């Protein structure tokens, strides 16, 4: 196993069988994490990119069985921020020192392509990198946002096991999800995607296939998080995703996609105190602190127990900066675009 890790560190290549074996091997976790940290240092450096997250609507047309924002969840207090409020939050994010804002929402079709493009144009006037995460849209809509100045797009596929995907994302089509990712790549976005670890029916082999899919897609950013069951969803009594197996997946992603931006997700810290530091020490190089304010910050409830909900955006920024410095790392001051290796 350790020889396999060393080979992955040097060549950034593993077979599906090797990835599956490493995912299922707790005894190799520290070795994997250390190798991933070395690759992270070599390829993306010691800077941690902070990206300000604006959760601007929790209204969603989809009905994913694990998500607290699902259409049929009547216990959620729904909200939608207007364009001026979104821009104001972005302006504050700029004041906190963020170089990137991430506009994230449920699949809220009130935000037509034209409405969202107008917001993107206003954000670009602030000299910010703009990431969108608003779900499945047409090629033409993605193209309009790209022309407006959007730099990145996050669309987690959650699983590349088509049967598992369509079981827990009813009414959605796996092929269309893949189409969206291909369209985004063709349009020149930095493309982000990722896995939800712990979906019932998911296997180690299917998670290995996820990693190889991200490698084949040449994903620029890959976000990994464990399933945290939400009691207001059909998967409310499911077994939570495994933190340590998720950590091994993060490390493997760094070994096999050495240039990618990999976030230490909030879900990891929700499961384990200081989980973000542990993941940053296992190959990750991005954190996305929430800059949403007030009730919307509380009501964007994908899962229960989300950390930092009661904090102010300014406090989050200060806290995370201090924690990064305590690790011997630093907050990067650039916009955090992927660094491509010299050919």
319 is in an annotated binding site: no
pLDDT band at residue 342 using 50, 70 and 90 as cut-offs: low
Average pLDDT estimate for 250-270: 96
The pLDDT tens digits of the residues spanning 91-146 come to: 999 999 999 999 999 999 999 999 999 999 999 999 999 999 999 999 999 999 99
Helix axes 113-124, 139-148, angle to 10 degrees: 20
- Per DSSP, helices labelled H in the chain are 2-11, 16-23, 29-44, 83-96, 113-124, 139-148, 162-168, 174-186, 204-217, 243-256, 266-271, 275-280, 294-299, 313-326
Task: With respect to residue 216, please indicate whether it lies within any of the assigned structural domains.
Answer: yes
Total domains in the chain come to 1
The pLDDT value given to residue 310: 83
Task: With respect to residue 53, please indicate whether it lies within any of the assigned structural domains.
Answer: yes
67 is in an annotated binding site: yes
Higher pLDDT, 219 or 311: 219
133 is in an annotated binding site: yes
Taking the C-alpha atoms of residue 166 and residue 64, their distance in angstroms, rounded to an integer, is: 9
11 is in an annotated binding site: no
Task: With respect to residue 278, please indicate whether it lies within any of the assigned structural domains.
Answer: yes
Owning domain of residue 110: 2-331
Task: With respect to residue 339, please indicate whether it lies within any of the assigned structural domains.
Answer: no
Compute the C-alpha angle 301/243/221, nearest 5°: 70
177 is in an annotated binding site: yes
Query: What percentage of the chain exceeds 90 in pLDDT?
Result: 95
Query: What percentage of the chain exceeds 70 in pLDDT?
Result: 99
Average pLDDT estimate for 231-241: 97
Cα atoms in the 13 Å half-sphere on the side-chain side of 33: 17
* CATH number of the domain where residue 265 is located: 3.20.20.70
Task: With respect to residue 340, please indicate whether it lies within any of the assigned structural domains.
Answer: no
Is 50 exceeded by the pLDDT of residue 80? yes
The whole-chain average pLDDT of the chain stands at: 96
pLDDT band at residue 343 using 50, 70 and 90 as cut-offs: very low
Residue given tokens 């969202």 in the structure block? 116
Burial pattern 96-121, b for ≥16 Cβ within 10 A else e, equals bebbbbbbbbbbbeebebeebbebbe
Task: With respect to residue 342, please indicate whether it lies within any of the assigned structural domains.
Answer: no
Task: With respect to residue 264, please indicate whether it lies within any of the assigned structural domains.
Answer: yes
The pLDDT tens digits of the residues spanning 3-13 come to: 999 999 999 99
């Amino acid at each position: 196993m350790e020889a396999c890790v060393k080979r992955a560190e040097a060549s950034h290549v593993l077979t599906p069988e090797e990835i599956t074996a490493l995912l299922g091997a707790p005894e190799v976790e520290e070795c994997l994490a250390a190798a991933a940290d070395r690759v992270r240092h070599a390829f993306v450096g010691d800077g941690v990119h902070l990206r300000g997250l604006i959760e601007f609507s929790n209204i969603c047309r989809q009905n994913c069985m694990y998500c607290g924002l699902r259409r049929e969840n009547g216990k959620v207090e729904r909200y939608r921020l207007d364009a001026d409020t979104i821009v104001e939050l972005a302006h504050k994010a700029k004041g906190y020192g963020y170089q990137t804002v991430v506009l994230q929402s449920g699949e809220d079709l009130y935000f037509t392509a034209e409405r969202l493009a107008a917001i993107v144009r206003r954000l670009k006037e602030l000299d910010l990198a703009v990431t969108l995460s608003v779900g499945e849209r047409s090629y033409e809509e993605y193209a309009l946002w790209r022309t407006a100045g959007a730099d990145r797009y996050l669309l987690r596929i959650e699983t590349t096991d088509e049967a598992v995907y369509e079981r827990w994302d009813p009414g959605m089509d796996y092929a269309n999800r893949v189409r969206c990712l291909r369209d985004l790549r063709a349009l020149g976005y930095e493309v982000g995607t990722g896995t939800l670890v712990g979906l019932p029916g998911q296997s180690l082999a299917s998670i290995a296939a996820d990693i190889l899919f991200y490698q084949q897609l040449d994903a620029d950013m890959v976000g990994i998080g464990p399933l945290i069951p939400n009691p207001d969803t059909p998967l409310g009594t499911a077994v939570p995703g495994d933190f340590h197996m998720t950590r091994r997946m993060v490390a493997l992603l760094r070994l096999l996609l050495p240039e990618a931006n990999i976030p230490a997700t909030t879900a990891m810290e929700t499961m384990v105190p200081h989980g973000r530091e542990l993941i940053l020490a296992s190959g990750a190089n991005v954190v996305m602190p929430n800059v949403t304010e007030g009730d919307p910050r509380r009501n964007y409830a994908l899962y229960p127990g989300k950390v930092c909900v009661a904090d102010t955006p300014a406090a989050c920024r200060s806290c995370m900066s201090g924690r990064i410095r305590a690790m011997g790392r630093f907050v990067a001051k650039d916009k955090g675009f992927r660094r491509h290796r010299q050919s």
